[in-house]
Amino acid sequence: MKLLVRNLNRSTTEQELKDLFQAFGAVQFCNLIIDQGSGVSKGFAFVEMPKAGEAKVAMKNLNYTTVGGNKIRVKKAEVKNV
């Protein structure tokens, strides 16, 4: 299950995010979105967890928790039709 993590502190690293989600299960990948011009985080990321049950527990437990001074939001990523 692919999750969207929003309102991240700009200094939060991909590894910190991965560690946060691994507390709830396996993380297939973690992709912190970086602004190409400045090289700084855009404040959101995608985390994919192979087991839907673990992803739902992570989403429930991490949504609206404070990470790096920011209250993050975690929800299931929408599939974008291009």
Which of helix, strand or coil describes residue 11?
A: coil
Q: Does any domain span residue 7?
A: yes
| Domain count along the chain | 1
Q: Does any domain span residue 73?
A: no
Q: Does any domain span residue 29?
A: yes
Q: Does any domain span residue 81?
A: no
d(CA 20, CA 5): 11
**End-to-end CA separation in angstroms for the chain:** 20
Mean pLDDT of the residues in the chain:
95
Which of helix, strand or coil describes residue 35?
A: coil
d(CA 58, CA 61): 5
pLDDT(82) > 70? no
More confident residue, 82 or 29: 29
Q: Does any domain span residue 50?
A: yes
The pLDDT value recorded for residue 80 is 76
Q: Which pLDDT tens digit goes with each residue over 3-56?
A: 999 999 999 999 999 999 999 999 999 999 999 999 999 999 999 999 999 999
- The parent domain of residue 14 ranges over 2-67
CATH of the domain at 32: 3.30.70.330
More confident residue, 82 or 26: 26
Structure tokens at 12: 């939060």
